């Protein structure tokens, strides 16, 4: 018997095809104009060998080996669910009583799954908040520095989160698109909360057909699809700020800056101008100066500047540019460049961050919220910027500076993660593991034996979305999608909500946690809240029963183009920005007042500690970019066939320029060793002349598979074995994964197998 069930995931909406309680296939959602291949990894991943079949505890933890114990030893003992629930509840109560709420770390950063009710991180944080509070994480890995900076500069984060000037406005008005980091296709495979419609490629094609000229400023030609016929400007990584300053100088030299806009809509222009001209530091930021830093000829830099001022131009940068040391600078300087062109708030002009970073950016949409759990409270808790998590474990009692604040770091006794994978996402994994091991108790809820689950003391097996009912929804997607259960829970897996409700029961607050609703009542409740919010925004959604039977609700796009900052551009007095001056802050007194040496009052060129111009490049002469994977969502779907097919001898591919390979005697398809002082991993070599020489690139997301011996050599290829863990600056404290130098050489000797996609060996005895 074959049945189909409507369902949704971050990587697309689909109907699950089910036979005898197994997902055997997927059919893309009929309304999706451009469904992605990632859907086909679903059956293999849901039924993967690496599913966690039952609860486990680390045997050393059961024996009382707690703070300082080595984790990741794979020494797991199966335990019964009742036992697991009791252990977790009692340990939570003990730690709260002895050490206070903030000693529990529940930041639990991660994408979880598309379903909005069973969203694992939200469920855990609701549970911990109701239990008294916890230490949480602020901002995110995606654009943590940018989202801290932009409220100071533009008074909003719309410019990176949306709604942004939409594609229809670009089709009609833009002539030139200057794309720092390109417009990669792969990133638009996903939408957080579910991609009902992949509209990015159809829109890009329409923009190209309208005759818009594209310039791909990136170390990687592949960051722009062929059909855009983009001109490639290969830039040395992390030097975009210098290029923008060189362009700014070229504009000034010819008097091409929009003096009117700078006078009426901006503050601090005079100070930035002095810096560009070299009046403050004796160094004019000429195109020749920029050429030496960026590797782009000065003539090209001048031409870029003049071309952008001559016609309606949209400036855009990917989120990746600010995931680098001093990552605030290129984004701030791009705003300054857009201000010099005077296009901010004009149709098809101005600046936007992330057109090429996520499906839904720039897609015309109505301003409707998404379906979701009500915001959680965290009464006794505190927050740290997300990327500083290792420091949190390392430096209890000490101060962390962030955005003008001093945060006293609490001592973390318990780490609890649901819906994220720190051993995928965080930088310098060997250092993370040393900090992590200092906790007394580590709990991980996961469907799969990821590296995070393998580094837990208590592992609680979670269902996947296909094993439960839910609603998929994102504020940047036009479809709200019913997610019907397709198969029963696999082995002993349980829903995150259900296991947390049982733990809350032991702790005496089940009813406050569940609000006495079961799953079906929650879905009705959340949908109804959304329906009312939609009605306030003048959209009449069908009632729950009709939605559920039809499988989705479509929110039609608006009739008119949306242009970000249009009101402000028209009348800055009547519609000021939400900044101290009400204007674009090219100089920010607030930021200057923090007194951070590494970030001043205006954008400026700051050398990263690791880039091709740094002294360290003598020993480690290759700049490693770790970009988002085309074959997965981060670590999710890594066990699936799409990801598996991309690997080279089972390892994550490392892209390298043929000249760099030849200089090392390396050949396509070889397994290589990528290393620096922080760690080493294996990778499979792929040659690509679309990469700037001196740059190597590796996608994130191959499950970390460190050998216990050999200095934790990761045999699979997780680039975070190599990346540096330092904040962008004390302002943003964002992730700086894109500032990383490495060396590459042939791997000699026996090739250790990748074993991370199998369940760890565990003791057979049930404790
Ligand atoms: N070097 C480098 N590192 C990076 C980046 C980079 O560019 N370079 N990018 C960074 C960025 S932008 C991000 S957003 C992060 C992403 O980092 P994460 O969001 O942590 O990565 P995911 O692999 O999506 O982790 C989600 C986890 O949730 C689990 N999960 C899914 N559904 C459920 C569920 O229903 N219940 C439970 N309990 N678990 C579930 C999945 O199995 C998966 O292990 O990575 C960051 N790391
Ligand atoms: N398929 C898929 N799509 C995804 C994700 C995924 O895991 N899989 N993750 C999603 C998430 S969580 C996020 S936050 C977004 C991230 O979106 P982005 O941050 O935009 O994605 P990246 O792939 O990290 O970077 C885009 C490109 O920037 C270029 N780049 C890197 N450093 C520099 C630099 O210094 N200068 C210039 N000019 N270019 C540079 C790289 O060549 C890279 O290919 O992607 C989302 N989309
Ligand atoms: Mo992200």
Q: What is the pLDDT of residues 341-369, one digit of tens each?
A: 999 999 999 999 999 999 999 999 888 99
**Substitution candidate for ligand 1 out of 119, 160, 187, 421 with most atoms within 8 A of CB:** 421
**DSSP-based three-state secondary structure for 609:** coil
At residue 657, does pLDDT exceed 60? yes
The answer to whether 338 and 550 have CB atoms below 8 angstroms apart is no
Residue 420 beta carbon below 6 angstroms from any ligand 1 atom:
yes
Average per-residue pLDDT in the chain?
Answer: 97
The answer to whether 555 and 478 have CB atoms below 8 angstroms apart is yes
Contacts with 86 (C-beta within 8 Å, 6 or more apart), sequence order: 506
Q: How many CB atoms lie within 10 A of CB 240?
A: 25
Nearest ligand by distance to the CA of 190: 2
> Ligand 3 mean position to 74 CA, how many Å?
29
- Residue whose CA is at the smallest distance from ligand 1 atom 31: 112
Residue 680 and residue 621 share a domain: yes
pLDDT tens for each residue of 582-618: 999 999 999 999 999 999 999 999 999 999 999 999 9
In 199-285, which residue ranges form alpha helices assigned H by DSSP?
A: 200-209, 240-253, 259-265, 269-277
Residue 636 beta carbon below 6 angstroms from any ligand 1 atom:
yes
Residue 141 beta carbon below 6 angstroms from any ligand 1 atom:
yes
CA distances from 216 to 88, 340, 360, 429, 722 (A): 51, 21, 20, 32, 27
- Residue whose CA is at the smallest distance from ligand 2 atom 17: 357
The count of domains in the chain is 2
Q: What is the pLDDT of residue 619?
A: 98
Nearest ligand by distance to the CA of 235: 2
738 domain-assigned:
yes
Question: CA-to-CA distance for 468 and 485, rounded, in angstroms?
Answer: 5
Residue 291 and residue 215 share a domain: yes
**DSSP-based three-state secondary structure for 651:** strand
CB-facing half-sphere around the CA of 324: CA atoms within 13 A: 32
Question: CA-to-CA distance for 518 and 57, rounded, in angstroms?
Answer: 29
DSSP string spanning 339-397? HHHT-TTSTT-EEEE-TTTSTTTT----------PPPPP-TT-EEEEGGGHHHHHH-TT
Q: What is the pLDDT of residue 1?
A: 86
Q: What is the pLDDT of residue 767?
A: 43
Ligand 2 site residues (CB inside 6 A) read 142, 180-181, 184, 186-187, 189-190, 217-220, 223, 235, 237-238, 240, 318-321, 324, 356-358, 625, 627-630, 633-634, 738
> Ligand 2 mean position to 626 CA, how many Å?
8
- Please state the atom number of ligand 2 nearest to the C-alpha of residue 38: 1
At residue 709, does pLDDT exceed 80? no
- Residue whose CA is at the smallest distance from ligand 1 atom 25: 420
Beta strand pairing status for 441-446 and 458-461?
parallel
Residue 677 and residue 579 share a domain: no
Q: What is the rounded average pLDDT of the residues 315-340?
A: 98
Cα dihedral: 724, 727, 729, 733 (round 10): 160
Q: What is the rounded average pLDDT of the residues 250-260?
A: 98
Residue 294 and residue 220 share a domain: yes
CB neighbour burial string for 423-449, b if at least 16 within 10 angstroms, e if fewer: bbbbbbbbbbbebbbbbbbbbbbbbbb
Nearest one of 714, 731, 350 to 562, comparing CA atoms: 350
121 domain-assigned:
no
Identify the active-site residue in 11, 56, 61, 109. 109
Where residue 194 sits, what CATH number does that domain have?
A: 3.40.228.10
Under DSSP, the state recorded for 34 is: S
Residue 318 beta carbon below 6 angstroms from any ligand 1 atom:
no
Contacts with 337 (C-beta within 8 Å, 6 or more apart), sequence order: 244, 247, 248, 308, 315, 351
Nearest one of 183, 184, 161, 143 to 322, comparing CA atoms: 143
**Substitution candidate for ligand 1 out of 700, 718, 721, 736 with most atoms within 8 A of CB:** 700
Nearest one of 697, 700, 676 to 686, comparing CA atoms: 697
Nearest ligand by distance to the CA of 358: 2
Beta strand pairing status for 12-19 and 2-9?
antiparallel
Under DSSP, the state recorded for 764 is: S
Higher confidence at residue 73 or residue 678?
A: 678
The answer to whether 121 and 109 have CB atoms below 8 angstroms apart is yes
Q: What is the pLDDT of residue 291?
A: 98
Which residues are 741's β-sheet partners?
623
Which residues are 744's β-sheet partners?
674
CB-facing half-sphere around the CA of 486: CA atoms within 13 A: 28
- Please state the atom number of ligand 2 nearest to the C-alpha of residue 697: 42
Where residue 686 sits, what CATH number does that domain have?
A: 2.40.40.20
- Residue whose CA is at the smallest distance from ligand 1 atom 16: 425
- Please state the atom number of ligand 2 nearest to the C-alpha of residue 235: 38
Under DSSP, the state recorded for 226 is: G
Angle at CA of residue 689, ends 688 and 691, nearest 5°: 80
Identify the active-site residue in 11, 56, 61, 111. 111
pLDDT tens for each residue of 201-234: 999 999 999 999 999 999 999 999 999 999 999 9
Nearest ligand by distance to the CA of 354: 2
Residue 711 and residue 647 share a domain: yes
- Residue whose CA is at the smallest distance from ligand 2 atom 6: 633
Residue 579 and residue 634 share a domain: no
> Ligand 2 mean position to 386 CA, how many Å?
18
Which residues are 675's β-sheet partners?
680, 743
Residue 645 and residue 579 share a domain: no
- Please state the atom number of ligand 2 nearest to the C-alpha of residue 633: 7
Nearest ligand by distance to the CA of 296: 2
- Residue whose CA is at the smallest distance from ligand 2 atom 25: 320
Residue 35 beta carbon below 6 angstroms from any ligand 1 atom:
no
Residue 240 beta carbon below 6 angstroms from any ligand 1 atom:
no
Place 765 in a pLDDT band, splitting at 50, 70 and 90.
very low
Residue 120 beta carbon below 6 angstroms from any ligand 1 atom:
yes
Q: Which domain does 663 fall in, by range?
A: 615-746
DSSP string spanning 577-615? -SSTTSSEESS-HHHHHT--TTS-SS------SSSTTSG
> Ligand 1 mean position to 245 CA, how many Å?
35
Nearest one of 422, 583, 463, 441 to 123, comparing CA atoms: 463
103 domain-assigned:
no
Q: What is the rounded average pLDDT of the residues 148-165?
A: 97
Residue 699 and residue 581 share a domain: no
> Ligand 1 mean position to 423 CA, how many Å?
9
Residue 699 and residue 576 share a domain: no
Q: What is the rounded average pLDDT of the residues 641-667?
A: 98
- Please state the atom number of ligand 1 nearest to the C-alpha of residue 110: 19
**Substitution candidate for ligand 1 out of 10, 88, 111, 652 with most atoms within 8 A of CB:** 111
Query: What sign has the CA pseudo-torsion 571, 575, 576, 578?
Result: negative
Total residues found in the chain within this entry: 767
389 domain-assigned:
no
26 domain-assigned:
no
Residue 454 beta carbon below 6 angstroms from any ligand 1 atom:
no
**Residues with Cβ–ion distance below 5 A, ligand 3:** 142
> Ligand 2 mean position to 384 CA, how many Å?
24
In 380-515, which residue ranges form alpha helices assigned H by DSSP?
A: 389-394, 422-425, 429-436, 451-454, 496-507, 510-514
Question: CA-to-CA distance for 420 and 424, rounded, in angstroms?
Answer: 9
The answer to whether 266 and 341 have CB atoms below 8 angstroms apart is no
Q: Where are the beta strands (DSSP E) in 486-630?
A: 552-554, 584-585, 622-627
Residue 317 and residue 213 share a domain: yes
> Ligand 1 mean position to 556 CA, how many Å?
31
Catalytic-residue membership of 141: no
> Ligand 1 mean position to 113 CA, how many Å?
10
Taking each continuous run of H as one helix and of E as one strand, the counts in the chain are 26, 29
Q: What is the pLDDT of residue 151?
A: 98
Residue 447 beta carbon below 6 angstroms from any ligand 1 atom:
yes
Cα dihedral: 144, 148, 154, 158 (round 10): 40
Which residues are 215's β-sheet partners?
178, 231
312 domain-assigned:
yes
DSSP string spanning 46-96? HT-TTB--S-EEEHHHHTT--TT-------EEE--HHHHHHHHHHHHHHHH
pLDDT tens for each residue of 545-592: 999 999 999 999 999 999 999 999 999 999 999 999 999 999 999 999
298 domain-assigned:
yes
The answer to whether 219 and 623 have CB atoms below 8 angstroms apart is yes
Residue 453 beta carbon below 6 angstroms from any ligand 1 atom:
no
Nearest one of 192, 200, 119 to 475, comparing CA atoms: 192
Residue 717 and residue 581 share a domain: no
Q: What is the rounded average pLDDT of the residues 755-763?
A: 83
* Overall pTM surpassing 0.95 (yes/no): yes
Beta strand pairing status for 135-138 and 382-385?
parallel
- Please state the atom number of ligand 2 nearest to the C-alpha of residue 632: 8
Question: CA-to-CA distance for 480 and 547, rounded, in angstroms?
Answer: 9
Q: What is the rounded average pLDDT of the residues 694-706?
A: 98
Residue 731 and residue 657 share a domain: yes
740 domain-assigned:
yes
Q: What is the rounded average pLDDT of the residues 137-150?
A: 98
Catalytic-residue membership of 548: no
Place 762 in a pLDDT band, splitting at 50, 70 and 90.
low
Residue 446 beta carbon below 6 angstroms from any ligand 1 atom:
yes
Residue 623 beta carbon below 6 angstroms from any ligand 1 atom:
no
**Substitution candidate for ligand 2 out of 188, 216, 329, 628 with most atoms within 8 A of CB:** 628
- Residue whose CA is at the smallest distance from ligand 1 atom 26: 420
Under DSSP, the state recorded for 706 is: B
> Ligand 3 mean position to 385 CA, how many Å?
14
Under DSSP, the state recorded for 709 is: T
At residue 41, does pLDDT exceed 80? yes
């Amino acid at each position: 018997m074959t049945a189909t069930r409507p369902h949704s995931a971050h990587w697309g909406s689909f109907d699950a095809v089910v036979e005898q309680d197994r997902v055997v296939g997927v059919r893309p959602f009929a309304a999706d104009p451009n469904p992605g291949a990632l859907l086909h990894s679903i059956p293999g991943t849901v039924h993967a060998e690496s599913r966690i079949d039952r609860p486990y505890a680390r045997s050393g933890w059961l024996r009382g080996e707690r703070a300082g114990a080595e984790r990741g030893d794979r020494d797991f003992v199966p335990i019964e669910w009742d036992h697991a629930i009791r252990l977790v509840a009692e340990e939570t109560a003990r730690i709260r009583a002895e050490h206070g709420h903030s000693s529990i770390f529940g930041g639990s950063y991660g994408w979880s799954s598309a379903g909005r009710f069973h969203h694992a991180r939200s469920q855990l944080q609701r549970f911990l908040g109701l239990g008294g509070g916890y230490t949480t994480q602020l901002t995110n890995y995606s654009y943590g520095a940018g989202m801290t900076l932009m409220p100071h500069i533009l008074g909003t984060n719309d410019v990176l989160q949306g709604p942004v000037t939409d594609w229809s406005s670009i089709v009609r008005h833009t002539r030139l698109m200057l794309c720092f980091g390109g417009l990669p296709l792969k990133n638009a495979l996903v939408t957080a909360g579910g991609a009902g419609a992949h509209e990015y490629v159809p829109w890009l094609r329409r923009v190209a057909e309208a005759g818009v000229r594209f310039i791909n400023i990136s170390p990687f030609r592949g960051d722009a699809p062929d059909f855009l016929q983009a001109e490639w400007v290969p830039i040395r990584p992390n030097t975009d700020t210098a290029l923008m300053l060189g362009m700014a100088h070229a504009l000034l030299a010819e008097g091409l800056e929009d003096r009117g806009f700078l006078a009426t809509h901006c503050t601090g222009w005079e100070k930035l101008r002095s810096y560009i001209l070299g009046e403050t530091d004796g160094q004019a930021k000429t195109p020749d100066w920029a050429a030496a830093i960026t590797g782009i000829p000065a003539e090209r830099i001048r031409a870029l500047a003049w071309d952008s001022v001559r016609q309606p131009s949209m400036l855009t940068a990917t989120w990746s540019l600010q995931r680098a040391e001093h990552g605030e600078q290129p984004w701030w300087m791009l705003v300054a460049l857009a201000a010099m062109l005077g296009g901010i708030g004009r149709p098809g002009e101005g600046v936007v961050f992330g057109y090429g970073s996520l499906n839904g950016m720039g897609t015309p949409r109505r301003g409707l919220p998404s379906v979701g759990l009500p915001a959680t409270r965290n009464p006794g808790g505190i927050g740290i910027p997300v990327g500083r998590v290792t420091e949190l474990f390392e430096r209890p009692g000490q101060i962390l500076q962030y955005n003008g604040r001093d945060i006293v770091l609490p001592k973390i006794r318990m780490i609890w993660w649901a819906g994220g994978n720190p051993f995928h996402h965080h930088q310098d994994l060997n250092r993370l593991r040393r900090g992590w091991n200092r906790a007394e108790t580590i709990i991980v809820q996961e469907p799969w034996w990821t590296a995070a689950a393998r580094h837990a003391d208590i592992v609680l097996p979670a269902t996947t979305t296909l094993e439960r009912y839910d609603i998929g929804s994102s504020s940047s997607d036009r479809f709200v999608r019913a997610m019907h259960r397709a198969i029963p829970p696999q082995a002993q897996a349980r829903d995150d909500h259900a296991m947390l409700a049982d733990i809350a029961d032991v702790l005496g607050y089940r009813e406050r946690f569940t609000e006495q609703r079961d799953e079906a009542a929650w879905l009705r409740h959340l949908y109804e809240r959304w329906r009312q919010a939609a009605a306030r925004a003048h959209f009449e959604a069908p009632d729950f029963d009709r939605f559920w039977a039809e499988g989705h609700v479509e929110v039609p796009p608006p009739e008119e183009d949306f242009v970000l900052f249009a009101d402000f551009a028209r009348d800055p007095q009547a519609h000021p920005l939400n900044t101290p001056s009400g204007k674009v802050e090219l100089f920010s007194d607030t930021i200057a007042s923090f007194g951070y040496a590494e970030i001043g009052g205006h954008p400026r060129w700051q050398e990263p500690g690791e880039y091709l111009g740094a002294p360290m490049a003598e020993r480690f002469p290759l700049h490693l970019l770790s970009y988002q994977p085309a074959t997965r969502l981060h670590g999710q779907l890594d066990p699936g066939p799409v990801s598996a097919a991309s690997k080279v001898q089972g390892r994550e591919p490392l892209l390298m320029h043929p000249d760099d390979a030849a200089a090392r005697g390396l050949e396509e398809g070889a397994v290589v060793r990528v290393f620096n002082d922080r760690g080493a991993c294996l990778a499979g070599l792929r040659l690509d002349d679309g990469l700037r020489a001196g740059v190597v690139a590796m996608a994130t997301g191959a499950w970390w598979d460190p050998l216990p011996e050999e200095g934790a050599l990761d045999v699979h290829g997780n680039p975070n074995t190599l990346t540096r863990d330092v904040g962008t600056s004390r302002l943003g404290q964002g992730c700086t994964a894109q500032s990383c130098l490495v060396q590459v050489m042939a791997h000699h000797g026996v090739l250790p197998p990748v074993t991370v996609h199998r369940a760890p060996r565990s003791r057979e005895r049930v404790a």
